[in-house]
Amino acid sequence: MSDKNPEYDFKWCPGCGDFGVRRALEGAFKQRMIDTEQPMENNVVIAGIGCSGNMVHLLEGPQPYGFHGIHGRTLPIAMGVKMGRPDLNVVIVAGDGDFLSIGQEHIAPQAARNLNVTAVIMDNAVYGLTKGQSSPTTKMATVTSSTPFGKPEDPLNPLKLYLTLGVSYVASSVSTRVKDLTATINEAMDHDGFSIVHVQSPCTTYNNTFAELKGNPKEGIPGLAWDVPEDHDPSDLDAAFDLVDEGGVPVGVVYRDKERSSFQARIDEINTKSYDRRLDKMIDSYSI
């Protein structure tokens, strides 16, 4: 519980991956304050509902603005904030259930717009807050409270989904790599378009995958996480798909399209063509 938010009497379970993501996000905001010479109040965190969404109340130190929204609707709220205040840096924090289940329908339209927001997704492959139901990224056949005889669906590959829908910046990470994650979130916030940083953030209570991600090098067991090679060209979409097809959890920037115009640039362009909606002009437009 943050001293700054004593009215929120909840906390994460010991060892929850979200602690690492929180440290990275705090570090990224602090670095951004230095780089942009803008105050912390220029940042807004839009949270979904879930243990991950509680991040908005648990950030320590100087506080960004926070908006704890409703389950699955971080993107529409973020769009509203960004349209009202384009000068603000808007960051979404949400879980795999929130963003990829109920909220999945919002990703495609914002990818098409290239909305200038950053989404930090904490993927624990489970609905943590509601006590362990299966989520879109839960592996097939996993027994959970909502799939007592095993999950009957294939798991979703979120990175492939983002690439397919045309998200212009896609990065992947794990919550234990705080330093790398801090730098990646920073780069994502600088990206002029829709950026998603998808983080494997294990749930120590309902789906503890820390050991699986790390492996056991001493016993020759490779971990699921591996570094994106230095010669990977993130501007090459085919190479990005190939990278994701290698499986496991790549750590680093998978795809980055710097050429596409952002939604804000498109709106600015439209505004140069628009005119005042005067009554006489509107009536003229209907007359034959």
Q: Which residues bind ligand TPP (CB under 6 A)?
A: 49-52, 71, 95-98, 122, 124, 126-130, 135
Residue 204 binding partner per list ligand TPP, ligand SF4, Mg ion, none, with a CB distance cut-off of 5 to 8 Å that depends on partner kind: ligand SF4
User: Of 101, 124, 172, 175, which lies in the binding site for Mg ion, with binding defined by CB under 5 A?
Assistant: 124
- To ligand TPP, the closest distance from the beta carbon of 92 in angstroms equals 12
Which lies closer to ligand TPP via its Cβ, residue 52 or residue 172?
A: 52
Which lies closer to ligand SF4 via its Cβ, residue 38 or residue 204?
A: 204
User: Of 17, 95, 193, 234, which lies in the binding site for Mg ion, with binding defined by CB under 5 A?
Assistant: 95
- To ligand SF4, the closest distance from the beta carbon of 19 in angstroms equals 8
List interacting residues with ligand SF4 (CB under 6 A): 12-13, 16, 18, 51, 124, 128-129, 203-206
Which structure tokens are listed for 233?
């060209």
Helix axes 237-245, 158-165, angle to 10 degrees: 160
DSSP secondary structure letters along 62-124: SPPEEEE--TT-HHHHHHHHHHH-TTSEEEEEEEHHIIIIITGGGHHHHHHHT-S-EEEEEE-
| Number of chain residues interacting with Mg ion (CB under 5 A) | 5
Which lies closer to ligand SF4 via its Cβ, residue 133 or residue 182?
A: 133
Q: What angle do CA 73, 76, 78 make, to 5 degrees?
A: 100
Residue 130 binding partner per list ligand SF4, ligand TPP, Mg ion, none, with a CB distance cut-off of 5 to 8 Å that depends on partner kind: ligand TPP
Which lies closer to ligand TPP via its Cβ, residue 168 or residue 172?
A: 172
Which lies closer to ligand SF4 via its Cβ, residue 129 or residue 197?
A: 129
26 near Mg ion, rule: CB under 5 A: no
Distance CA 166, CA 109 (A): 10
Which lies closer to ligand TPP via its Cβ, residue 162 or residue 255?
A: 162
Nearest CA to 13 among 136, 181, 132, 179?
Answer: 132
- To ligand TPP, the closest distance from the beta carbon of 282 in angstroms equals 39
Q: Is 210 helix (H, G, I), strand (E, B) or coil?
A: helix
Give the torsion sign (CA, 227, 232, 236, 241). Answer: negative
96 near Mg ion, rule: CB under 5 A: yes
Residue 127 exposure: Cα atoms within 13 Å on the Cβ side = 19
Distance CA 37, CA 148 (A): 52
Binding site for Mg ion (CB under 5 A): 95-97, 124, 128
